[in-house]
Amino acid sequence: MMFSEDLDPEEMPEVCRATTLEYIKHVSKLGTTLFELLSEALGLKRDHLTAMELGKGRIFVCHYYPACPEPELTLGASKHTDPAFLTIVLQDQLGGLQVLRENQWVNVKPISGGLIVNIGDLLQIISNDKFRSVDHRVLANRVGPRISVASFFDGVVVPPKVYGPLKELLSDESPSRYKEFQVGDYVAKYSSRALGISALDLFKV
């Protein structure tokens, strides 16, 4: 199931409508808080990233991974980064999510009531590599189903808005490493790229 922030609530299944709307409200507020903290981490004013409307475009995706009788033959989701500024993930207690750290896959152990925050490609670009998007994947499992909810913060898509490395972070010693982009263009190239190719490489200077 996939919902955008513009979806009419009446189009949501009634059985989960109230809970879903409540979750969206709280996770959206959390996204704003995270962008404020990330702004400060970059040495910028607290409202810098929120003023850029990075949290305006939001997509909420519900993932359902059924039990797999032969998990060693497949993956629930192959290695990838997210074509967003930020992703907040709620996963159940089955686990299966892994992140790549120092060329080793590390299990992200579920914590009851906990959320996972992934830096996305777009935040890596505007921070000029000060933040790095995270490679991750989901393993198939004999036990299931595994359920997760991913909230993607995509910024302004319509009307198109141009983003790029923040001028406040650039200098002669740290020149721009990426071209300017529009979110829609980035997502299109991300979706059509060849396997094994990072979409970030397509936007490098």
Distances (CA, A) of 115 to 24, 64, 111: 13, 17, 8
Closest CA to 128 of 31, 43, 37: 43
AA identity, residue 195: L
Per-residue pLDDT 10s for the chain (205 aa) are: 555 666 788 888 899 889 988 999 999 999 999 999 999 999 999 999 999 999 888 999 988 888 889 888 887 788 899 999 999 999 988 888 999 999 999 999 999 889 999 999 999 999 999 999 999 999 888 888 988 999 999 999 888 999 999 999 999 999 999 999 999 999 999 999 887 789 999 999 9
Report how far residue 50's alpha carbon sits from residue 123's, in angstroms, rounded to the nearest whole number.
Answer: 12
Report how far residue 71's alpha carbon sits from residue 126's, in angstroms, rounded to the nearest whole number.
Answer: 37
The pLDDT, as a whole number, for residue 73 is 81
User: Does residue 159 have a cis bond before it (omega within 30 degrees)?
Assistant: yes
Report how far residue 64's alpha carbon sits from residue 44's, in angstroms, rounded to the nearest whole number.
Answer: 39
Tell me, yes or no, if the pTM score tops 0.75.
yes
User: What is the dihedral sign for C-alpha 187, 100, 117, 115?
Assistant: positive
The pLDDT, as a whole number, for residue 72 is 83
Report how far residue 177's alpha carbon sits from residue 95's, in angstroms, rounded to the nearest whole number.
Answer: 35
Torsion of CA 199, 180, 131, 50, to 10 degrees: -120
Closest CA to 41 of 166, 131, 175: 131
The pLDDT, as a whole number, for residue 2 is 56
The pair of three-digit structure tokens given for residue 205, joined into one six-digit string: 């200077």
Q: Show Cβ contacts of residue 82 under 8 Å, excluding neighbours closer than 6 positions.
A: 118, 120, 121, 133, 152
CA atoms within 13 A on the CB side of 33: 8
